[in-house]
Structure formats: structure tokens, C-alpha cells
Amino acid sequence: MPDTRIKEDFLGFGLGLRTDHFEHILQHQPDIDWFEVLSENYLVAGGKPRYYLEAIAEQYPVVMHGVSMSIGSTDPLDMDYLKALKTLSNDIQPKWISDHICWTSIHGINSHDLLPLPYTEETVNHVAERVRIVQDFLGRRMLLENVSSYLSYQDSTMDEWDFLSQVAESADCLILLDINNIYVSARNHHFNPLDYLKKIDPRRVQQFHLAGHSDFGDYVIDTHDHDVPPSVWTLYQAALERFGPVSTMIERDANIPEFPALYQELLEAKHIAELTLPENAELARSSFGTRSLDGLNKQISTHYVSQQPVRAKQ
Amino acid sequence: MSRLVEIQQQFMQYLLSDAADTQHGQIQSIMKANVSEQAGISANDRLQIYSNAYRIRLKETIETDHQLLGVYLGDHLFDKMAADYTRQYPSSNKSLRQFCDDLPNFLQQDDFFKQHPIIADLARFERRLLNAFDAADSPRTSFSDLQAISPEFWPNCCLRFHPSVQIFTCNSNAVEAWQALKVDATPPEPDYQSQRAWLLWRGESRLTEFASLTAAQHALLLGFIQGNNFADQCEQMLEWHNEQSAPLMVLQTLQAWFQQGLIRAVVSN
């Protein structure tokens, strides 16, 4: 059967690079497969952030993840920002570059938030055109990540998963599927998260994000300040069943624990992947946890993993 | 105008507006009309999540960048400053790193905060520390590089400084207050009796450092930064030293600057 994948290599299991962990990483050189770096944090001239980033990028594969491209904005694309992104990319040679399918600024004012777009044909065309320009400028495909949202627009004429799929198809870009964001939006908008997974083209899914959130009962907020909860692990298992092995990382932006705690949480992700996709050759290439797995696997719980597939494969 | 433009404009207007805005109700109604009512929580509450997140994120940025200014002000005044600054200076940068760049100006011009100039000075000092923290890297040169130049060329030598080097001047004891707050001590009463000058830089170990400057050291550093040569600066030092001691003072100060990693290059014309 021909390999119809569009996506690139499977990197294994990674973590978001956070300043709190710089020293630990350089000192202990943990066997994390890769790190995701927040692009905007390193668009500075020099100093500690750049020093640690460059030292870590020399030892680990890295990917760049941005929050300010504002790909859905009706402002012109910020070419100075894209140039800075390209310069950083030349410096640290990331495996790929991602941002969010949202808008953040208009008339030059930045909300510093990932604001939702109306899901319409007009928006599909607008965003896809801008993604094509960015990809031409960067000379590579970019990844678009689904965001958590708390409102829906009256104007929307399609579901979020159709919107994301149409933009990715039209722009020929890749997808960073945030499993937690799907869960959060599903709770806030009352859809079945498995319907979301079912509609996304597996050939375009390059990366998964896992994270925690704050559950207020009637609504859920994407806060990245908790451990990955059971509900997100379950959805992760369903995503693995649908998409196979996909480069996976855990995002933690607040209430950040010590590095070993995140390492342990990432082991849980690998363990779930191994149980869901037994004897998978790509998964076997991940060296994460091999140094410490023997000692640690006794502590890994498996109660988040369903014995039955979470959903039937398409 | 396309609907996408319209929605984005109305959403941003909604985020920027708050209860202090006389048109807030109208702006909120316009934006609410774009939002679907869904089960669970109302359209208003859904919008409020974004409005809260906008203000919390920017306030947290001020807290992070201006930690000791926050301690100096206390919760009540800090909240007032954060709300007023966020209202008057919406972010126009891609990174939150620059969001507070105008905070010192705001504090200097605001009718309430300008009554206590030390507050703007504290903010300005903390911005300088940040600038030193992530200024560009560059190699540093040592005193032996100057010694390698034949002494007859020294009078024409100029210096190039590490990009992190900055001078901070103020008419208050803001830095003394900052130092007290840093060690959880009570800051001294504001004192506006004399001008003070401080040198800030990032050392070889990437730590941000600062040191007070005497009037002569300040003039010496400023002159070299402005491109004056060794001879010009020795002459300028005659204001504080005699003809014998001026070159010695310059040389000793330079030696310290080399050791501190302040100098990027010696340029001999």
C-alpha cells in the first residue's frame, strides 16, 4: 500500500521547554525525545533565554510554537514578525513551526489571546490564503493548532472540524491537534469530541498537544495549570487509534511542577501509546523513558487506558 | 466591510472597553449580537471569559515584569495602575515582553501617580534591568587587548560597549528603595534631593548587575558611550581630578570595566 502521508517524521514524546527547567535539562540531559519552544519567548536579541535555547537545541530536536501570527486577522500579515520567526528558525533549525488557527490582533492592537474565528467560507478562504503566503515565506509547511473556545458566532455555517479540515486542505498545511482543546471546546459547545477526531485527515496530523484545564461544571477553561486529566487521556487514546503514532507533547504554562513530575506524566503518555498501538515500529523508535522506564514503570498507572478501543477506526 | 472585519473590530472594541467606559453597555450589546446562545452559560458569560482573560493576562505581565514596583505600591494601588495602564496603553506588540515599555511614561504623566515621582523611577529601573537581561550577546574584550596597543595610540582610542550596558539616572532614591524591597526590608522614605546615576549590565555569567556611579564615573562612561576618545575623557575628568590623577583615574576605571565585561572592543583610530 503506498505511503500517502503528508506529514514528516514521528519525533516521539516531548515537553514544552520552560525557563524553570533550563538548568535541570542541561545538567541531567533527560532522555526526552524533543522539546517544543514558544517562539515569542526567544524573539529577543540575547541573554539567558537565547543561551539556554541554543544549548538545548544543540542536544535535542526542537519545534517552534507561536502565539502571535494572528493568521486569521484581517490586518495585513506582520512581515517583521515573520522575518524574526525565520531568523530564529535559521538559528535553531526546528523540525517544524506551528501557530494557532485563530486571530489575536486587529488594527495593530494585540489581545494576546487566541480568539476564535467564525467558521464560514469567507474565513476559510481568508485564512488559507494567508497560510499559503506564510508557508511560501518560511519555505516550509506550517502546522495549525485548534484552539479552545468559549463562544460560537451566529455567522458560523460549519463545524470547527470542517473549518480546520478545509483550511488545511486548501492551504496544504499540517495540523497540530490539541487533544485538551478538543475536550474543552466539546464541553463548552456540547459536541462529541470523537466526532471531531473522525473528521480530521490523519495524513495531516503532525503533532498532538496534551494539557490540563480548569473545570467549572457549566464550562471548562483551558488553563494549562493542571496535570492531564483522565478525560483527556481517554481522548488521547481515541486519537492514537484514529491517527496512529503522532509526535506528542505535554504543555504546562502555569503552576509548573519540577521537571521529574512532568517527565513522569509524559511516561504516562508513552505508556498509553504503547498499550494502544502495540508493537508499532514507529513508536518503538522513541527512546524516551528507556533509561528510566524499568525503575519508573511500576509507578505508571494504566487505569486511563480502556481495554476496548474508544471508538471504531474509520 | 466584510463580516470577518466587522466581527474582529467589534470583538476588540469589546475587549478594550470596561465598566469605566460610558459606551461599554452599547459595545457589549453589539458584540453580544454576534454570539450564539448555547446551553450551559449565556452569551454574556461566554464573552466575559474573554474579557477577564484579557485583563488577567496583561495584569500578570505587569506583575512579572515589575514585581518590586508591585510590592512598593501594595495591592490596591497596583490594581489601579494595572487597570488604568491597560486601558490607556493597549498592547501593540507581538510579544508581552514589550507590553510595559510605556509604563514609566504613564506613571510620569498620570495625574495620580505623578504626585510620587519615585514610582515612575522604579518602573523605569525595572525596565532597564529587563533590557540588560535580554540584550544582544557579543564577545567581550580584556584589558590586555588595550595593553597590546602601543601607548602612543591610546589618546585616540575609543571604546565599544557590550549591548547590555545602560545608564540609569533619576532624581529619587528609587534604586535604594528597590534594593530594600528585594531583601524584604522597608524602603526608605522618598528622597528627591540629588540626582543619582547607575550602571546596568549583564556580566559574563549572564547575571544582570548594577552599580552606582559617581558624577565623574557617570561623565566618563557617558562620554565613552558617545564616542569620545581617551584624550577627550582625560580632559573631561579635569573637572574632578588634577592633571596627574585624571589619566590614572580613567585607567583604573577602564580596568574595572574590562573586568566587569562591559567592553566589547577597543577602537584605535
Write down the H helix ranges in B66-95.
Answer: 67-88
* Spatial separation of the C-alpha atoms in residues B238 and B254, rounded to whole Å: 17
Q: At what angle do helices A121-138 and A160-171 cross, to 10 degrees?
A: 40
State how far the alpha carbon of B11 is from the alpha carbons of A116, B3, B8, B52, B175, in Å: 10, 12, 5, 13, 41
Interface mutation vs chain B, best among A79, A111, A115, most B CBs within 10 Å: A111
Contact present, A200 and A230 (Cβ < 8 Å)? no
Q: Where are the domains of chain A?
A: 13-299
For the cut 80, the answer to whether the pLDDT of residue A113 exceeds it is: yes
Q: Which of B46, B47, B135 sits opposite A47 (nearest CB)?
A: B135
* Spatial separation of the C-alpha atoms in residues A154 and B47, rounded to whole Å: 14
Contact B96 A112 (CB under 8 A): yes
User: Half-sphere exposure of B85 toward its Cβ, with a 13 Å CA cutoff?
Assistant: 27
Reading the block at residue A167, the C-alpha cell is 483550511
Q: Does B222 reside within a domain?
A: yes
Contact B164 A188 (CB under 8 A): no
Query: pLDDT class for A154, splitting at 50, 70, 90?
Result: very high
Q: Which residues have CB under 8 Å from B1's CB, separation 6+?
A: none
- Spell out which residues of chain B touch residue A221, defining contact as CB-CB under 8 Å: 49
What is the per-residue DSSP string for A129-167?
Answer: HHHHHHHHHHTS--EEE----S--BTT--S-HHHHHHHH
Q: In degrees rounded to 5, what are phi and psi of residue A176?
A: -105, 110
CB atoms within 10 A of CB B238: 11
Q: Within the 190-209 window of chain A, which residues sit less than 8 Å (CB to CB) from chain B? A: 190
The label of the residue with cell 484581517 reads A74
3-state secondary structure of A5: coil
Reading the block at residue A223, the C-alpha cell is 488553563
For the cut 60, the answer to whether the pLDDT of residue A312 exceeds it is: no
Reading the block at residue B186, the C-alpha cell is 522597608
For the cut 80, the answer to whether the pLDDT of residue A7 exceeds it is: no
For the cut 50, the answer to whether the pLDDT of residue A248 exceeds it is: yes
What is the per-residue DSSP string for A56-106?
Answer: HHHHS-EEEE-S---TT-SSPP-HHHHHHHHHHHHHH--S-EEEESSEEEE
The domain total for chain B is 1
**Share of residues in chain A with pLDDT > 70 (%):** 90
State how far the alpha carbon of A199 is from the alpha carbons of A166, A196, A239, in Å: 11, 6, 12
CA dihedral A112, A118, A120, A121 (to 10 degrees): -20
Interface mutation vs chain B, best among A41, A75, A83, A110, most B CBs within 10 Å: A110
Write down the H helix ranges in chain A.
Answer: 22-28, 48-59, 79-92, 121-138, 160-171, 179-189, 193-199, 230-243, 259-276, 281-284, 293-296
Closest residue by Cα to residue A243 from A286, A197, A289, A304: A197
DSSP strand pairing (B166-170 vs B196-202): antiparallel
Query: Rounded mean pLDDT of A34-56?
Result: 94
Q: Mean pLDDT for each consecutive 10-residue tract of chain B (269 residues)?
A: 94 95 95 96 97 97 97 98 97 95 98 98 98 95 92 94 97 98 97 96 94 97 96 95 92 95 91
Q: In degrees rounded to 5, what are phi and psi of residue B169?
A: -120, 145
For the cut 90, the answer to whether the pLDDT of residue A310 exceeds it is: no
Question: By residue range, what is the domain housing residue B163?
Answer: 133-268
3-state secondary structure of A115: strand
Q: Does B97 reside within a domain?
A: no
Q: Within the 144-173 window of chain B, which residues sit less than 8 Å (CB to CB) from chain A? A: 163-164
* Spatial separation of the C-alpha atoms in residues B49 and B42, rounded to whole Å: 11
* Spatial separation of the C-alpha atoms in residues A276 and B202, rounded to whole Å: 50
pLDDT value at position B19?
A: 87
Q: Does B31 reside within a domain?
A: no
How close does chain A come to B195, measured CA to CA in Å? 30
Q: Does B218 reside within a domain?
A: yes
Contact present, A152 and A132 (Cβ < 8 Å)? no
Cα A194-A199-A201 angle, rounded to 5 deg: 120
Q: b/e per residue, B127-142, with b = 16+ CB within 10 A?
A: bbbbbbbbbebeebbe
CB atoms within 10 A of CB A36: 25
CB atoms within 10 A of CB B110: 17
How close does chain B come to A188, measured CA to CA in Å? 8
What is the CATH classification number for the domain harbouring B151?
3.90.930.50
How is domain A13-299 classified at the architecture level of CATH? Alpha-Beta Barrel (3.20)
CB atoms within 10 A of CB A190: 10
Contact present, A13 and A270 (Cβ < 8 Å)? yes
Interface mutation vs chain A, best among B16, B95, B100, most A CBs within 10 Å: B95
- Spell out which residues of chain B touch residue A41, defining contact as CB-CB under 8 Å: 95
CB atoms within 10 A of CB B244: 7
* Spatial separation of the C-alpha atoms in residues A119 and A189, rounded to whole Å: 14
For the cut 90, the answer to whether the pLDDT of residue A3 exceeds it is: no
State how far the alpha carbon of B224 is from the alpha carbons of B137, B196, B217, in Å: 20, 19, 11
Contact A118 B3 (CB under 8 A): yes
Q: Within the 1-60 window of chain B, which residues sit less than 8 Å (CB to CB) from chain A? A: 2-5, 7-9, 11-12, 15-16, 33-36, 38-41, 43, 45-47, 49-50, 53-54, 57-58
CA dihedral A93, A148, A286, A277 (to 10 degrees): -150
Cα B22-B28-B29 angle, rounded to 5 deg: 110
Q: At what angle do helices A79-92 and A48-59 cross, to 10 degrees?
A: 50
Contact A120 B43 (CB under 8 A): no
- Structure confidence by residue, pLDDT tens digits, A184-213: 999 999 999 999 999 999 999 999 999 999
Closest residue by Cα to residue A54 from A66, A67, A42, A65: A42
Q: Does B189 reside within a domain?
A: yes
Cα B47-B52-B53 angle, rounded to 5 deg: 100
A117 shares contact with chain B (CB less than 8 Å): yes
Query: Rounded mean pLDDT of A81-103?
Result: 97
State how far the alpha carbon of B84 is from the alpha carbons of A3, B11, B17, B107, B152, in Å: 57, 20, 12, 10, 58
Q: Does B239 reside within a domain?
A: yes
For the cut 90, the answer to whether the pLDDT of residue A314 exceeds it is: no
Query: pLDDT class for A311, splitting at 50, 70, 90?
Result: very low
Query: pLDDT class for A298, splitting at 50, 70, 90?
Result: very low
* Spatial separation of the C-alpha atoms in residues A159 and A91, rounded to whole Å: 38
pLDDT value at position B268?
A: 84
Closest residue by Cα to residue A246 from A58, A10, A5, A18: A10
pLDDT value at position B140?
A: 96
